[in-house]
Amino acid sequence: MPRGNVLNVDVQDFIKAIVAMRCKERIEPRSTRHFARIYRKLFSVTTKMPWELSTEDLERFLSLEHTDTKVEDATLVLAKIINENMLSHNCPLVPEIENTLTVRLAQSLYERKEGEKLPDKKTLYELARIVFQEAPRSHHDCIRFCIVRILILTGLRINEVLLLPRNCLQWTRQIDVVTGRQAGQVGGLSRTLRLRYFAEKHEEGRPDALVEEYYWVPVRFQNAVANAVELALTATGRLSKVLAAQHLQPQLYQRSDLRQFKTTAGNKLTTADLLFLVIFGGSGPLPPSIQKNEAIAPISLSALYHSLCGTNRKSDRTLFMRYGRSKEALSMRLRPHSLRHSLHTELLRLNISDTIVTEQFSRQSVAQTHEYDHRSLAERLEFVRLPETAQASIRSGQPEELVAKMVVSGMASESHIGRTFKSIQAEHGDEAAFIYLAANSDGFHVTPYGYCTNSFSMNPCARHLKCFDGCRHFVASGITEHKTQLEELRGKLFAMRAKASSRPARSAGRKNQIAHADQLISGVDAALSAQPQMPVFPEGADLSASDTDLFR
């Protein structure tokens, strides 16, 4: 065991470097802080420096009794960082951790993908009833109600809502430039509402600068969002004035939360310019008069989390416990981020283009939007209609209808079966193409790494699910379980490559083993970075077909 109450300076620098790297990669701050605490525990039970760690050291740490469920995840992340940067003399570090995650197949076409990330239906309805119908019993609850309303209606991140400025509502009159009339009179919208907010996870964001973005509020939600903001403005008006006065003379108030910000648009603001203000430690309604030295600050993230998720302390009471109408409601809990997943899924379920959803939430790529897509396969194909020529050969409700809709909709258009369909369609017409689909309706399978679009009845897999080795039939799924399997496989391949590299240069097969590992690692990386529902290797080899002449 190391001596003293403080970690070695080199160990501290190492943990700080990991924190800086994760912050640069825009990983959630709470997760980064949590992992840093676990690494502090790790280096508190060993005298070894980071560059001396081995697989045995990590396994010894994992063998201790831990109540923290994130210890294994944090240890795997540490091993990955050390291996990829060759930081230890004992690389590769490959701790043996029991894999409890299995690839679970959907039980029906109507089962939501990763449905556990969505809010429970009864819980969501009860929360909506509370924040839209109940009268808040305290100022804190009034602010929480307004925040939750906006979370439900906009799907913004929780911190993006907590940092809304007081001037976040921007109404605009839209005029048709051709006729000079209001846009509503010529098929458009006469009045639109934008919500000004500060976006997270943007490259131009910095610790000292907020990224200004605008969220276009759908027409049906405009009044509800505006009412929530105006209610908060009224409730916090006096608090904002007192806090603004404190900012003018900060030397009189020894407080660290009198912060100032600047935005990427060149604007400056303080905490007094934020919308959701509360009295620190206050309870009940606001007092008739606010003291000049009152501790006023934006409502904290933890306070909102505790009101929805609760804590282990019996003294904490959730909104469900305070305002629920049934015994069932008293035990309800809801994660705020699930509301974001819910709205994303609902927009996509209504057949709104993923590019529009991506633009609506100021995302960097469409792939990020698909991380929030939890539609069932039936919902994805609900809007697909097969032509009349398909009715003679494609039976409704049967597997061939499912495969045909996937091909026609583009979900599997670039697969082997999709390309063959297009070829037959171009040469022999629609009827022959759909007859081919009916005969090959088994050409869609789920593997541990993604989807396979090969017809096993015609061409059995000759590579034993080695999809990531450039197979043309391999289609990315975007499912978390598949990504996890690929990440684990990638770690094993790195370990295999490192083991081969450590052998003497003249060892038999060393060069081929390294080249083979590099090829497989490249394939796994391609699978991890591929867009969901798209082929990973569209120009790859057909591994189900054997060579014409094996000995040539």
Mean pLDDT calculated for residue range 295-322: 83
Mean pLDDT calculated for residue range 484-510: 81
pLDDT at position 400: 75
Whether the pLDDT of residue 516 is over 80: the answer is yes
Whether the pLDDT of residue 204 is over 70: the answer is no
Whether the pLDDT of residue 456 is over 60: the answer is no
464 or 187: which leads in pLDDT: 187
287, part of any domain: yes
pLDDT at position 363: 85
Which of 300, 330, 360 marks a domain boundary?
Answer: 330
Residue 552 — very low, low, confident or very high, per pLDDT cuts 50/70/90?
A: very low
Q: How would DSSP label each residue in 72-124?
A: HHHHHHHHHHHHHTT-STT-------------PPPSSTTSPTTGGGSPPHHHH
31, part of any domain: yes
Same domain as 229, residue 319: yes
Q: Which of 143-152, 282-291, 409-418, 465-474 has the lowest mean pLDDT?
A: 409-418
Mean pLDDT calculated for residue range 79-99: 85
Same domain as 134, residue 278: yes
pTM flag (> 0.75): no
C-alpha distances out from residue 533 to 352, 412, 544, Å: 17, 7, 20
Mean pLDDT calculated for residue range 292-318: 82
Which of 277, 299, 330 marks a domain boundary?
Answer: 330
Burial of 59 (0-12, 13-18, 19+ CB in 10 A): middle
378 or 272: which leads in pLDDT: 272
Distance CA 297, CA 270 (A): 11
Which H or E element spans position 302?
helix 301-309
Q: 398-443 pLDDT, tens per residue?
A: 767 777 887 887 766 666 677 788 888 888 888 888 888 777 766 5
440, part of any domain: no
Mean pLDDT calculated for residue range 279-296: 86
Whether the pLDDT of residue 36 is over 90: the answer is yes
pLDDT at position 163: 93
Whether the pLDDT of residue 458 is over 50: the answer is no
252 or 321: which leads in pLDDT: 321
209, part of any domain: no
E strands, 429-481, in order: 445-446, 451-452, 474-475
What φ, ψ does residue 182 adopt, rounded to 5°? -65, 140
Domain count, the chain: 3
Structure tokens at 412: 């599997």
Residue 444 — very low, low, confident or very high, per pLDDT cuts 50/70/90?
A: low
Residue 140 — very low, low, confident or very high, per pLDDT cuts 50/70/90?
A: very high
Mean pLDDT calculated for residue range 68-80: 89
| 3 state SS for 191-234 | EEEEEEEEECCCCCCECCEEEEEEEECCHHHHHHHHHHHHHHHH
Same domain as 281, residue 152: yes
Distance CA 549, CA 552 (A): 6
Helices (H) and strands (E) in the chain, counts: 21, 10
Q: Which of 174-188, 192-206, 260-274, 471-485 has the lowest mean pLDDT?
A: 471-485
Same domain as 135, residue 251: yes
Mean pLDDT calculated for residue range 372-384: 83
What φ, ψ does residue 211 adopt, rounded to 5°? -90, 115
Same domain as 312, residue 229: yes
**Backbone CA torsion sign across 519, 73, 96, 504:** positive
Whether the pLDDT of residue 109 is over 90: the answer is no
pLDDT at position 442: 60
Burial of 98 (0-12, 13-18, 19+ CB in 10 A): exposed
398, part of any domain: no
Same domain as 127, residue 32: no
Whether the pLDDT of residue 205 is over 60: the answer is no
Residue of 368, 378, 302 whose CA lies nearest to 111: 378
b/e map 398-413, b = 16+ CB within 10 Å: eebbbbbbbbbbebbb
422 or 61: which leads in pLDDT: 61
Whether the pLDDT of residue 546 is over 70: the answer is no
pLDDT at position 455: 61
Same domain as 21, residue 63: yes
Distance CA 295, CA 257 (A): 9
Mean pLDDT calculated for residue range 248-273: 84
Residue of 336, 360, 330 whose CA lies nearest to 348: 360
The rounded mean pLDDT for the chain is 84
425, part of any domain: no
Same domain as 245, residue 134: yes
Same domain as 150, residue 16: no
310, part of any domain: yes
Q: Which domain holds residue 538?
A: 447-552
Q: How many CA atoms lie within 13 A of 484 on its CB side?
A: 11
Residue 289 — very low, low, confident or very high, per pLDDT cuts 50/70/90?
A: confident
Residue 166 — very low, low, confident or very high, per pLDDT cuts 50/70/90?
A: very high
184, part of any domain: no
Same domain as 511, residue 471: yes
Same domain as 452, residue 319: no
Whether the pLDDT of residue 551 is over 50: the answer is no
Same domain as 70, residue 138: no
Of the segments 210-214, 386-390, 396-400, which one has the largest average pLDDT value? 210-214
pLDDT at position 430: 85
pLDDT at position 511: 84
Which of 285, 315, 330 marks a domain boundary?
Answer: 330
Residue 154 — very low, low, confident or very high, per pLDDT cuts 50/70/90?
A: very high
Residue 91 — very low, low, confident or very high, per pLDDT cuts 50/70/90?
A: confident
Mean pLDDT calculated for residue range 340-346: 94
